[in-house]
Amino acid sequence: MTEQQIKAAQCVARALLDTIAEVAPHGAPSGPMYAALMAQGCTLAQYQSLVASMQRNGLITAQEDSHGEPVLLHITPKGEMLRHRFPQMV
């Protein structure tokens, strides 16, 4: 990844963490968040990769549906702490 791509991914991660934090403790619905990013050119594979990476790194947890797909996302204390280190989307 180029430096520009890394920064873009960090901005998207920050936007997701901010959104998830705003609706805590209920959980942020994954579908509408993907739809908002899709409108900006994000593919489903990119969104799924980002969410999976955030889960692996302990920034979020997910309630999953019967197929194992994340439905409601919740921010973790680690995610709350790190979200302010990511740049905001402009």
Domains of the chain, by residue range, sit at: 3-84
User: pLDDT over 70 for what percent of the chain?
Assistant: 98
DSSP 37-85: HHTTT--HHHHHHHHHHHHHTTSEEEEE-TTS-EEEEEE-HHHHHHGGG
Is the preceding peptide bond at 70 cis, omega within 30 degrees of 0?
no
Looking at residue 38, its pLDDT comes to 95
Per-residue pLDDT, 90: 55
Could you read off the pLDDT of 33-76 as tens digits, one per residue? 999 999 999 999 999 999 999 999 999 999 988 888 889 999 99
Domain 3-84 has CATH 3.40.50.300: no
> What pLDDT score does 89 carry?
65
pLDDT at 65 (0 to 100): 87
**Taking residues 18-35, what's their average pLDDT?**
91
